[in-house]
Structure 1
């Protein structure tokens, strides 16, 4: 590693919740327009970790087991909003995402896009192949990370 590259990393901190949220917003904006239109009303949240209730519900052994989660009534189930129902939402979990990123050879932007598409895909009841196609379309127009 050159001195210049080492200097850059010496000053780099882990992305904050707001920075992960900005990555998620950029990833969402890069998704195909038809997909984004169908996502109207789906909220994106970023937390450090899932709460204890979610960990228990999902059968997680560790707070690092879950990278993201869709909560709500997906279009595959009925899509109808019922009075008093919480809005459909996707949660991205910063610390598990960063842990996964540190262990794998992919950019953080790609990882955030992948988890976001996967979780929103649950909203639509999409297959893994459908989600891979949407993710590939987003990769084609997402600027590379510096």
Structure 2
């Protein structure tokens, strides 16, 4: 079965260009002191995301353009999918201030996504004041469709 980008998704895909991106982001700040005592670390987050990707096959697919632009691009399974390329560990110098976090977010969000891979990234950010952690997601708008495909932060937080 051929799975083409919808007209709206193709529009968002082609709107990306020099100085213009159509990815979306979410930021969750976690306070381990407020939880059940379980700690979140990079290996646990990778395992969680890998497990939840079963509910979101689109996040394992890349966009392939059709020769000569004669049709809308296709969703194709990425045979070399590596979850550790998409789930990344980052840190700000302790004690990480909100300003330092905002600067990191600005740098991450200003970079375009790699079109040769599934177009999403997730960052576990350590070093915030009070032992807090942050999870930053960056998802290309074409992955979300008409709302029928959840953003990755929706699937990992339950």
**Which TM-score band (shorter chain)?**
0.3 to 0.5
Looking at secondary structure, tell me which structure has more strand per residue. 2
For normalisation by structure 2, the TM-score amounts to: 0.36
For normalisation by structure 1, the TM-score amounts to: 0.38
